[in-house]
Structure 1
Amino acid sequence: MFPEFSRLSSLKKASLKKTSLQKSSLKKSGGFSLPVAIFIIVILALIAVAVNRLVETGSRSYVASLLSSRAFYAAESGVQLSLIQVLDTPVCSCSGVTDISFTNVSGLSACRAVVSCDDSLVINGDTYCTLSSRGECDGTNSQRTVEVRVK
């Protein structure tokens, strides 16, 4: 026979043995890759859920902080508006409760202030008025109170 042909035939036999070894090793490891893939997918899904919860918590915290700031500014604005009326009198005099709605004010559109005034504090003949303003935004979800005492 031809020497090239016999060498070619031995190469084919070697490659067939190598291929059969690869197939048998693939059969042995074929069941292992599926659980690993499922495990990786589950871990990635858990990480995605954790990140989603972190973002949601951060968003809620931001909204609560924003509403709290708006409630503070509503309470402060209510006191300032009431101070104009109280300080307009020669002697500090006020009474009752005033409800101020900020429907036409941008930034405070869902807020209101409930201002109460008390002029019962007299020290050395001087009357002091105590104004207390409770700012509320988004119903009663966020409330802040500001108190001012003037002579």
Structure 2
Amino acid sequence: MSRNDLGQYPLLRPQQGFLLPLALFIVLILAGLGVTLSRMTQYSNLSVLQEQASLQAFYAAESGAQYAMHRLYFDSTASLTRAAATAECNGIDNGGTGTAISFTATGLRSCTMTVFCTAVNDSANVTTFYNLTSRGNCSFGDILAERTIEVSSYLQ
């Protein structure tokens, strides 16, 4: 059948090429959707790692606060006095640089904590208030998290 024969068959028309642009459009839409899903998965994985580092930094800071409270009140071999607790607080504070510990336990292996202590007496010099500040730091490659916990106690 030649082109001249098309006049004899009115239902037969030359192809207009509609399917090729439609297929190209569908492929581009699916490719864009794939790229978007890939990026969303990547950001989701990153946020999970950030949340894990944040939680571990919190636990490191909490462990530091517990460590300092133990040293403050239970580490002394002598009876607990305000003078002994204040001396222990000064030892924890270490001249303002604090006491730093790197953890070796499985859950906190890539974490460190630094704890500071200040002792303040009331105006009547009857009660000493101890303020402990513990900072936990955890890092996993480029992901870094830091959490701070403050604990206060007193001794009469």
TM-score range, shorter chain: 0.7 to 0.9
The equivalent of 1:35 in structure 2 is 21
C-alpha RMSD of matched pairs (Å): 2.1
Q: CA–CA distance in 2 between the matches of 1:21 and 1:63?
A: 67
Alignment counterpart, residue 145 of structure 2, candidates 133, 139, 142: 142
The equivalent of 2:71 in structure 1 is 85
Larger radius of gyration: 1
Report the alpha carbon displacement of residue 21 of structure 1 after superposing the two structures with TM: 7.7
Report the alpha carbon displacement of residue 45 of structure 1 after superposing the two structures with TM: 0.5
Structure 1 runs (4+) greater than 4 angstroms displaced: none
Relative contact order, CA 8 A, sep 6+: which one is greater? 2
Say which structure is richer in helix: 1
The equivalent of 1:128 in structure 2 is 129
Q: CA–CA distance in 2 between the matches of 1:57 and 1:101?
A: 29
Q: CA–CA distance in 2 between the matches of 1:135 and 1:84?
A: 17
**What stretches of structure 2 of length at least 5 have no aligned partner?**
1-5, 75-79
Q: Could you state the TM-score of these two structures normalised by the residue count of structure 2?
A: 0.74
Alignment partner of 1:28: what SS? coil
Q: Could you state the TM-score of these two structures normalised by the residue count of structure 1?
A: 0.76
Report the alpha carbon displacement of residue 90 of structure 1 after superposing the two structures with TM: 2.2
Q: What letter is aligned with 2:106?
A: S
Q: CA–CA distance in 1 between the matches of 2:38 and 2:29?
A: 14
The equivalent of 1:107 in structure 2 is 107
